[in-house]
Amino acid sequence: MAAIELRDVVKTFPDGTSALDGVSLNVADGEFMVLVGPSGCGKSTILRVVAGLEEMTSGEVLIGGKVANGLPPNERNVAMAFQTYSLYPQLTVYENIAFPLRVSKSFSKREIDQIVRDASRTLGLDDVLQTKPGVLSGGQRQRVAMGRAMVRDPQALLLDEPLSNLDARLRQELRAEIAWLQRCLGTTTLYVTHDQTEAMALGDRVVVLEQGRVQQIATPRDLYRHPANLFVADFIGSPPMEFLPVTVTGDVVELSFAWVRISPQKAARVHGREQFIAGLRPERVRLEDLVGTDHQYARIPRDVPPGVPDYLIRYEKELVGGEINTPLNSRSDYNRRFLERDQEDRYVNSRSLQLFDPATGENLTRDVD
Ligand SMILES: Nc1ncnc2c1ncn2[C@@H]1O[C@H](COP(=O)(O)OP(=O)(O)O)[C@@H](O)[C@H]1O
Ligand SMILES: [Mg+2]
């Protein structure tokens, strides 16, 4: 097992496509690191660069503290698994797991047997070793694939959207299985997904990527609570964060429907400017009446028309470009429950408001309440 490090990795394809635009990240020894971002943001390219399947334009990749640039894939000792598990259907589970060992030709028959049996014990596959993959459950097949990746005792495991072709239920089941396996094996893992829910469920830490650039590297909890910018805030969380343009004067935030005071620390971060985009997690909107005299809570008017309220929708992002288009009332079950309890007041606590720079998208209040 080994740590992995990328230092300022740039990858531009011959046709001019910029896939990675200065990516730096560290995966600690034994860590489960998830790369997440929309399709085309460079996730697979990162894995391929680490595996040595793709040459980078500039930068460095270190595996176990040693520069791996220029090393062919077979000298890097990292195991890569792709979207489809591609087990050999005609081979038994035993032979599927043994396959990489036989191919390498550096193990005796006895050694191979020992390694396969060790792996099968760890993975709970003892009972199905002589079975063919076709009759196994999805979870068992996944274990076989992991076993096959693991037997050569790789320094790291690289997984590229391993669950993306499966139905939602199986995906959930296997997600739990992968997390469990990784903890058992303790192998440094770099796991790619475009699904933020999966990333949040699996990662010790998560790298959020967009257009070949790292947007933020943090624990799931920190990504959710302290998003670095509008992109991360919008991408992470379900239902997603709501965004509304606001004016700030001193410590008073003027929302379109109410005003609210923010803490002195927060006010200091946005001092000297007026226009911001406020971000609000829908689940932080409260039904109970918590309003004190300090104006820390803003009341959301009760007569919100069901469906699409005027003041919380269609901020066509004149300020930032791109699109923010997030009606508060139509998003989730949570909000539906909200509407059913329409007679109660709702409040926004200013502690849960984050203020973003409309020009750069940066979260100016990332680490203050
Ligand atoms: N061989 C290639 N030649 C040119 N462009 C490529 C090649 N492979 C990938 N790309 C481009 O590089 C970008 C990143 O691709 P990729 O790493 O596969 O994204 P992801 O895995 O996040 O969906 C995309 O714009 C993709 O079209
Ligand atoms: Mg990909």
Summarised one tens digit per residue, pLDDT across range 239-281 is 678 888 899 999 999 887 778 889 999 999 999 889 999 998 7
Residue 17 Cα: closest atom of ligand 1: 5
Query: What is the C-alpha to C-alpha distance for residues 343 and 301, in angstroms, rounded to an integer?
Result: 10
Angle at CA 263, nearest 5°, toward 317 and 235? Answer: 35
For a substitution probing ligand 1, which of 6, 44, 161 has the most ligand atoms within 8 Å of its CB?
44
What integer best gives the mean pLDDT of the chain?
82
Using the mean position of ligand 1's atoms as its centre, give its distance from the Cα of residue 161 in Å. 15
Residue 128 amino acid letter: V
Using the mean position of ligand 1's atoms as its centre, give its distance from the Cα of residue 193 in Å. 14
Instruction: State whether the beta carbon of 13 lies less than 6 angstroms from ligand 1.
Output: yes
Q: Whose CA is nearest to atom 16 of ligand 1?
A: 42
Can you say whether the dihedral through the CA atoms of 57, 62, 66, 70 is positive or negative? Answer: negative
Nearest to 234 by CA among 225, 245, 242: 242
Query: What is the C-alpha to C-alpha distance for residues 192 and 181, in angstroms, rounded to an integer?
Result: 16
Three-state SS for 141?
helix
Using the mean position of ligand 1's atoms as its centre, give its distance from the Cα of residue 356 in Å. 30
Q: Based on C-alpha coordinates, what's the Rg of the chain?
A: 25
112's tokens = 């191979």
Query: What is the C-alpha to C-alpha distance for residues 117 and 290, in angstroms, rounded to an integer?
Result: 60
Residue 71 is predicted with a pLDDT of 94
Residue 160 Cα: closest atom of ligand 1: 21
Task: With beta carbons less than 8 A apart as the criterion, state whether 333 and 340 touch.
Answer: no
pLDDT bracket for residue 294 (50, 70, 90)? low
Instruction: State whether the beta carbon of 207 lies less than 6 angstroms from ligand 1.
Output: no
Q: Whose CA is nearest to atom 26 of ligand 1?
A: 40
Residue 39 Cα: closest atom of ligand 1: 23
Using the mean position of ligand 1's atoms as its centre, give its distance from the Cα of residue 13 in Å. 8
Using the mean position of ligand 1's atoms as its centre, give its distance from the Cα of residue 192 in Å. 14
pLDDT bracket for residue 316 (50, 70, 90)? very low
**pLDDT for 334 beyond 60:** no
Query: What is the C-alpha to C-alpha distance for residues 242 and 173, in angstroms, rounded to an integer?
Result: 30
How many C-beta atoms surround the C-beta of residue 121 within 10 A?
10
Query: What is the C-alpha to C-alpha distance for residues 82 and 162, in angstroms, rounded to an integer?
Result: 6
Read off the pLDDT of each residue in 292-297 and give the average, rounded to a whole number: 63
Q: What is the pTM of this model?
A: 0.82
Residue 41 Cα: closest atom of ligand 1: 22
Instruction: State whether the beta carbon of 227 lies less than 6 angstroms from ligand 1.
Output: no
Per-residue pLDDT tens digits for 191-249: 999 999 899 989 999 999 999 999 999 999 899 889 999 999 999 987 678 888 899 99
Residue 37 Cα: closest atom of ligand 1: 22
List the alpha helices (DSSP H) in 215-319.
220-225, 230-235, 264-269
Using the mean position of ligand 2's atoms as its centre, give its distance from the Cα of residue 45 in Å. 7
Nearest to 45 by CA among 23, 25, 75, 72: 23
